[in-house]
Structure 1
């Protein structure tokens, strides 16, 4: 099933659609949520003009068809889907961060940071983005723009996070060479601490041999739906860490037939309450893997508050 041409008004979502096309065979879950994000944002941009309505309806039909034909729990269960997307985005981010800190600057690093930023964007389909994820999202986008600008001007980028706000603010403000929205310099540009941030270690994501030959950046290709697989995405699927000093977050699996038990505290809880509590517990578990007790306690407290009062703090 093919989509109609993307209306000019919806140009802002074209690279999410391209990323989806590139992942159709590599990772259908990533492809599904990239298109879902594109749909939600496209409707916010324009859902009234005839051409945009036609495109949105076709994209909705496409997503419904994929959901019916794919029995992946990551597509049918929001909690599992969020874990899948977080893990994938963080692995792409880890590859770019490792290469950057090792001062191996090339188009693959720019592309990987840029793709990680887009994948972090898609996590908003699951609700409000955590502070750490949002910080890493802004960092990835800024790093992509910064390294790309340096390579274009024949300059050597500075590896890793930059702590001098004046310098990095000037760099981020300078011209938007890649075309995405630049983060606010006042927020600072360093990866978030805790389970959403990775430290340098062995690369877990290996680019293909031809990936550095050409870098397809936003604005270079006007046809979002006809892209050949692999031309706009990271050249290979991230693999699980082999020698990392800290384990990667584990994907969580839940039984879709599960029903909430009766609450002994007399609070009327529904399935959504229990699933949200499970999310908090998942975040706490991930934080414990990185010895981040503060984040773990915060999320466990939120889960307990939700289960005992029915209110999300």
Structure 2
């Protein structure tokens, strides 16, 4: 059993339906070392969602261990090292997949196997638009793409379950509806998703978006008030550490775009999070 399979078996029951899809995407891209960054961000999304439950400490800790191991084993992966590059890469991958699904939807007749492949691609688009939330607010174009893809995937699933062996391309989302604005059909295939995007690559929106304020931290776990016996300081809860690390990454990404104001806001929030534990 792989590390991802082990993590998938540990997923909290409340999140099983929601996140098993993202584990599937992560496992698919883990097969290729050049796309391990997609797996990395899928697992980051899973960790963030699990943190919202304010429990399942061991599961989140195991996911964070996986993320750290992935980063350690891929020290030169620019997509993992840079949040802005990671966001651009996943947006580009979504755009490529949308182009492929548009082409498939335009086929007049589809076999059951072709429908299953198309359904999986739609599910992947929907899942990856969820993953974009780890970088901050998701652009409206991609939110729309995700909703369309998920709806179409469910429709295909129902068609297959009902014994449908073929489907008309007219029933799917149109090419214009399934493509981000300002993105031409030619550009949709301009760059392989496994490579870091070139500096000149064009994306649906040229400006990166950073959260000016992060969501309120959930209440700490019961161990939050425990003291570290070796140092005499309060032990920092793992969810606080995770949130602080995320804020630091946002600050770093903001600085890459010379957005000093956003970087300062995120750094100030890190200080607010950690000061109570600096005794």
The CA deviation string for residues 193-233 of structure 1, in whole angstroms up to 9 with x for no partner, is 5235x64xxxxxxxxxxxxxxxxxxxxxxxxxxxxxxxxxx
Q: Which residue of 2 aligns with 1:31?
A: 39
TM-score where L is the length of structure 1 = 0.54
- Partners of 1:92 and 1:68 lie apart in 2 by 29
Q: Which residue of 1 aligns with 2:67?
A: 63
- From 10, 19, 27, the counterpart of 1:5: 10
CA drift at 1:248 = 2.7
Alignment of 1:78-93 (within 5 A): 78-93=83-98
What root-mean-square deviation, in Å, do the aligned CA atoms of Structure 1 and Structure 2 show? 3.4
Q: Which residue of 1 aligns with 2:139?
A: 130
- The 8 Å contact of residues 99 and 179 in structure 2, kept in 1 or not, is answered as no
- The 8 Å contact of residues 20 and 31 in structure 1, kept in 2 or not, is answered as yes
Task: List 4+ stretches of structure 1 deviating above 6 A.
Answer: 306-312
> Structure 2: which 5+ residue stretches go unaligned?
201-250, 266-279
- The 8 Å contact of residues 99 and 109 in structure 1, kept in 2 or not, is answered as yes
Alignment of 1:118-267 (within 5 A): 118-153=127-162, 154=164, 156-157=167-168, 158-161=170-173, 190-195=177-182, 199=185, 244=186, 248=190, 251-252=197-198
Q: Which has the higher helix share?
A: 2
Change (3 A) 1:87 1:309: closer
- The 8 Å contact of residues 16 and 34 in structure 1, kept in 2 or not, is answered as yes
> Structure 1: which 5+ residue stretches go unaligned?
163-188, 200-243, 255-269, 278-305
1:15 aligns with 2:21: yes
- Partners of 1:246 and 1:63 lie apart in 2 by 29
- Partners of 1:99 and 1:272 lie apart in 2 by 36
**Alignment size in residue pairs:** 195
1:54 aligns with 2:58: yes
